[in-house]
Chain A
């Protein structure tokens, strides 16, 4: 097992402007087999110029790893302007100790990312596999698509302990999303597949959905007007009203399901 610790130097975020640092080049599968010197030499974008990772992070390496699965990255320091943590990751593990910036776990294919804090927008964007755990809140566009695409999350598992923002899991086509807190408006917008479980409250979930499933265990603060009540169903022993929709898309396409407590 190898642990690579990357502590963001205070100087990086000490200026008047907090210019984001993009760490898509620092994932277990991209760093496996590199010496600490080689890791320090990896080029990382900071605004409009690239810096050596070693100039932005204090980097230490413990242990060794034969493959990416045995590599764990530990991000520390003020991470709220560190973007793309775990983005495009294929294997291994990342733990981010603190609130992280945008695109955390975006386009993940494998491995596991744990955020000990809040995650900013687009966490889990276009996720294909692997696991993303956010112990705090997740901002808008969690597990959503990139602008213009017809597919967002297609696989993998995401768990958010806190609340989330708007347009969560837009154009979801597969995978599983569990949100323990509340979701803001339009969760599951235009989804075609996959499963979203919301333990808290929801507002206008499932708009324009044509497939997939949403379970709202908390209160439905505002229900879409274009869903059709079908029947009552039981999930884990509790009674739910089952709705089919979104009929605003027309009868042929209204193949999405929402379970409401």
Chain B
């Protein structure tokens, strides 16, 4: 029996297909968008705003780091509790919700795909086990290949082909999606309690973070990878770090991708757009970063917008989290991962009364409003670092409403008026641009538009969000409420949310990439890799790779080697 569904009277915003608020019907059969249907169940969208299912390029939702955050914060778990229902498991948590709640809350916001951006390779199995228990959302994870000793070997020898072979092996071993780089070199230095800026040599390995980023960008483009390297630049959170960010973006300027996409994605850029020399003269440098992005086409960014309130910061940038703990004195967890990467976790309160936090809060919005082309831009809060993903509707309402921004400006620190340009920006995004930065651009940045995501063209996955909004709605409060709880969310042709209630919780698919590397190259690399396991790893080579049983609903993307 084929499952047919017809959505009538939808006002569709589908930027990948250039559909800008057209009143249309959407036909669905067997979970896909089709041209016509014969005997469908019918949903009358009643002229409401309809978009493809949301795609989030960067949210820490699954894995060792996130779970350490949950475990260490029962006081966060105690918030947001909901009893189990016939459909839903028991829910808990605000900034570090349990996995079921993550699936339900994203679905209620109309999201259907989330990228876990930081999977420590040695702990990859943990990330996949949590993705299995994250309902509804299709997903993928990016293994961290930034501070790996194998990466250092080939960056030092300059052998990009062998580095490409290592990347191919690592992405297959971890069932990953692409190359994630966090504080390259710095987290290895943190193994001795130290750190590195872009051109500082990594202790003992004496290569620089700049060398690492460049080499990995080149190696990544040796395959037809759907996504570019995903980079958290050095010196996150340090006043004056905008120069490090610009220098990092410039490193890869000449590199081309066979996949006609940028070659570097700069993530949670807000944390990397700081001016001044200390917290006293701290100021926004969003305009400098925005100018660079406007004048170059080899870079995409996601904003990492602050949500005022308490949250849990967690990143592979061990040294940064330690410095945050030293400022707040709150609890602090660290986990260096042998030969590969690290992580740090500490709670943080972003307060509108504090000047620095207020400027941080403006920077994310400045980036979104100063960067002219929304296709280079993704909306994130680096969940939960700058704030929980449940805050996305707030960000959407402030980007769409100058009036809302001015109201908030009056309630926060006056530093907003002399250290940031947000009050002077009048631009308001419309539904079309919002659809770009939350599904269109985000799907393209990840290379998922070729795999049925982020749009409603024929053959696309029937992932659809129907918001209880008329296209003319301009009231920030109504917009915020509507983007928090959809009228309907449809995942793979199945209604999963109705009137803000989860009515079904099917399992999501895990997307992973198989880079097809030349076998001779691979064998040469494996000699070096097996030596590392023999001498330095605490697990054996044969027990390392993630077994297929950890992906009950796999979706494979092959990435052939580029000639």
Check if B330 sits within 8 Å of A150, measured CB to CB. Answer: yes
A147 to B74, CA, bound (A): 6
Contact count A vs B, C-beta below 8 Å: 14
- Chain B residues in 8 Å Cβ range of A253: 329
Check if A146 sits within 8 Å of B330, measured CB to CB. Answer: no
Residues 383 to 397 of chain B near chain A (Cβ within 8 Å): none
Shortest Cβ distance from residue A2 to the other chain B in the assembled complex, whole angstroms: 33
Residue tally, chain A, CB below 8 Å to B: 6
Shortest Cβ distance from residue A116 to the other chain B in the assembled complex, whole angstroms: 31
Q: Which of A146, A148, A149, A150 has a CB less than 8 Å from the CB of B72?
A: A148
> Is B78 at the interface (CB under 8 A from chain A)?
yes
> Is B172 at the interface (CB under 8 A from chain A)?
no
> Is B8 at the interface (CB under 8 A from chain A)?
no
Residue tally, chain B, CB below 8 Å to A: 9
> Is B411 at the interface (CB under 8 A from chain A)?
no
Interface-central residue, A147, A148, A149, A150, by most chain B CB under 10 Å: A148
> Is B75 at the interface (CB under 8 A from chain A)?
yes
Check if A148 sits within 8 Å of B330, measured CB to CB. Answer: no
Which secondary structure dominates chain A's binding surface? Answer: loop
Residues 431 to 489 of chain B near chain A (Cβ within 8 Å): none
A146 to B78, CA, bound (A): 9
| Least CB separation from A150: chain B residue | B330
> Is B126 at the interface (CB under 8 A from chain A)?
no
- Chain B residues in 8 Å Cβ range of A148: 72-76, 331
| Least CB separation from A253: chain B residue | B329
A150 to B72, CA, bound (A): 13
Shortest Cβ distance from residue B422 to the other chain A in the assembled complex, whole angstroms: 31
A90 to B76, CA, bound (A): 24
Shortest Cβ distance from residue B230 to the other chain A in the assembled complex, whole angstroms: 31
| Least CB separation from A250: chain B residue | B329
- Chain A residues in 8 Å Cβ range of B76: 148
Residues 146 to 167 of chain A near chain B (Cβ within 8 Å): 146-150
- Chain A residues in 8 Å Cβ range of B73: 148
Shortest Cβ distance from residue A26 to the other chain B in the assembled complex, whole angstroms: 20
- Chain A residues in 8 Å Cβ range of B330: 150
A38 to B331, CA, bound (A): 46
Q: Mark A29-57, 1 if CB is under 8 A from B, else 0.
A: 00000000000000000000000000000
Residues 320 to 338 of chain B near chain A (Cβ within 8 Å): 329-331
- Chain B residues in 8 Å Cβ range of A150: 330
A149 to B73, CA, bound (A): 8
| Least CB separation from B78: chain A residue | A146
| Least CB separation from A210: chain B residue | B329
- Chain A residues in 8 Å Cβ range of B78: 146
A253 to B329, CA, bound (A): 10
Residues 54 to 82 of chain B near chain A (Cβ within 8 Å): 72-76, 78
| Least CB separation from A149: chain B residue | B75
A253 to B331, CA, bound (A): 15
A150 to B73, CA, bound (A): 11
- Chain A residues in 8 Å Cβ range of B72: 148
Shortest Cβ distance from residue A47 to the other chain B in the assembled complex, whole angstroms: 15
Shortest Cβ distance from residue B330 to the other chain A in the assembled complex, whole angstroms: 7
Q: Mark A244-256, 1 if CB is under 8 A from B, else 0.
A: 0000000001000
- Chain B residues in 8 Å Cβ range of A146: 74-75, 78
A150 to B74, CA, bound (A): 12
A40 to B354, CA, bound (A): 50
| Least CB separation from B330: chain A residue | A150
- Chain A residues in 8 Å Cβ range of B74: 146-148
Residues 199 to 226 of chain A near chain B (Cβ within 8 Å): none
A150 to B330, CA, bound (A): 9
Shortest Cβ distance from residue B6 to the other chain A in the assembled complex, whole angstroms: 43
A150 to B329, CA, bound (A): 11
Shortest Cβ distance from residue A31 to the other chain B in the assembled complex, whole angstroms: 24
A150 to B348, CA, bound (A): 13
| Least CB separation from A145: chain B residue | B75
| Least CB separation from A249: chain B residue | B329
A150 to B347, CA, bound (A): 11
Q: Mark B363-378, 1 if CB is under 8 A from A, else 0.
A: 0000000000000000
- Taking A148-B76, A148-B331 as given, write out 6 further A-B residue pairs in contact, using a Cβ cutoff of 8 Å, ordered by the A residue number: A146-B75, A146-B78, A147-B74, A148-B73, A149-B75, A150-B330
A-B contact pairs, 14 of them (CB 8 A): A146-B74, A146-B75, A146-B78, A147-B74, A147-B75, A148-B72, A148-B73, A148-B74, A148-B75, A148-B76, A148-B331, A149-B75, A150-B330, A253-B329
Among all A-B residue pairs, the 5 with the closest Cβ atoms: A148-B75, A148-B74, A149-B75, A147-B74, A148-B73
What residues of chain A have their CB less than 8 Å away from a CB belonging to chain B?
Answer: 146-150, 253
